[in-house]
Amino acid sequence: MGDDAWLWLGLFILFAYGLEAVTGFGSTVVALSLGALLLPIDRLLPVLVPLNLLMSGYLAWRYRHLADWPLLLGGILPAMLVGTLLGYALLPWLDGDALKRGFGVLILWFALRELWRQRRERPRGRTPLWMTRLQIGAGGLCHGLFASGGPLLVYALAATPLGKARLRATLACVWLALNGLLSLAFLVDGRLVPALPHLALYLPLLAIGVVAGEWLHHRVAERYFRTAIHLLLCLCGALLAWRA
What does the pLDDT read at residue 177?
92
Q: Which residues contact 47 (CB under 8 A, 6 or more apart)?
A: 9, 195, 198, 199, 202
**Nearest partner of 209 among 51, 64, 46, judged by Cα:** 51
Q: State the residue range of the domain holding 57.
A: 1-243
Contact 178, 81 (CB under 8 A): yes
Say how far apart CA 55 and CA 175 lie, in whole Å: 9
CA dist., res. 41 & res. 70, Å (int):
34
Residues contacting 210, CB < 8 A, separation 6+: 17, 18, 21, 55, 58, 59
DSSP label of 218: T
Domain count, the chain: 1
Q: How many CB atoms lie within 10 A of CB 105?
A: 16
Q: With cut-offs at 50, 70 and 90, classify the pLDDT of residue 24.
A: low
Query: What was the pLDDT predicted at 97?
Result: 76
227 compared with 66, residue with greater pLDDT:
66
pTM: 0.79
What is the arithmetic mean of pLDDT over 158-163? 68
* pLDDT tens sequence across 109-140: 877 887 887 776 655 556 677 777 888 888 88
